[in-house]
Amino acid sequence: MMLAFSASTLFAGAGTVTRFGVAVGAQTAGMMVIQALVAALLAWASVREFPRLERHSTFNVLCLSLVGGTGAICMIEGYARLGVAPTAIILSLYPGIVGLYLWVFEKQRPTLKWFLALLVAVSGVVLAMSTAPAIKRPLWEYVFPVTATMTLAGNDLLIQRLTVQMKPGQAIGWVNFFTALMALAVYNVQAIGHLGELPNLTVGGFMGTMLFLALQLKFMGIGRIGARLVSLIATAQPVLAILIAAVVLGDKLLPNQIGGAFLVMVSLGMITRLR
């Protein structure tokens, strides 16, 4: 559980680093490409051997790259277009999608206690985000957080399959390499034109290091306790992001945010009983 919680903390911290990067002049496209490339290089270096892509794992690696890259881009677009509150609340439903995927594809039926833990966790996120400003946008733009939720859930299922096919460093390296190519294809000239700028290099490099560590811990966590429990623990990310922003950026904590954090911690306690 500590592996998954540490990964969630790093993922939550990445949001704070992104806010800092934008404040100092970094561009989203440039940061995303740099962080993926840095994470890939660190992952391959951790393996200490030529990162061969075996034939039997190539399909899952390509699928994970496509799914994870799509999820990351849609999540960024969701936050940019709709604001923090609606996007984070929709994303907090992703453990339920993971449970549904595992039920359909892996025949792993969720328990009543798992549903109760999910309900408490989602309630905590909704409470914590209830005072966050939302941007009024057309209804169709909600497709971005919904797509991110669906793809990030599939991401965890694919990771669970890859943990028995290849070393985490190999998988993380190839996935981030293909994700960087995908980001370049999506943002094309915009990304390429900003790659060499100092804010993108420094912030993107730092984010890439955090991403590598977070994915390494997530792979290890899913390998030990499975995607269902790891996804439940990941529900804490929005609340952790609020707490980290309060400590690092000086954001003011509101009563509803403290209450939401408490509910998420209660859900984590319930998760420990599910093992």
At residue 29, does pLDDT exceed 60? Answer: yes
Determine the pLDDT at residue 147: 92
Mean model confidence pLDDT for the chain: 78
| Residue 11 main-chain phi, psi, to 5 deg | -60, -40
Determine the pLDDT at residue 245: 72
Query: What contacts 156, CB < 8 A, 6 or more positions away?
Result: 98, 222, 227, 230, 231
List the domain boundaries for the chain: 2-272
* Stretch 187-191: mean pLDDT: 59
Determine the pLDDT at residue 23: 74
What is the DSSP annotation of 108-169? -PPPHHHHHHHHHHHHHHHHHTTTS-B----GGGGHHHHHHHHHHHHHHHHHHHHTTTS-HH
Determine the pLDDT at residue 274: 65
154-179 confidence digits (pLDDT tens)? 888 888 777 777 777 778 888 888 88
Determine the pLDDT at residue 231: 79
Q: CA 153 to CA 97: how far, in whole Å?
A: 6
Query: What contacts 19, CB < 8 A, 6 or more positions away?
Result: 245, 249
Longest dimension (CA), the chain: 53
What letter represents residue 188's amino acid? N
Tell me the pTM.
Answer: 0.76
Cβ atoms of 110 and 103 closer than 8 Å: yes
DSSP lists the bridge partners of residue 83 as 134
At residue 134, does pLDDT exceed 60? Answer: no
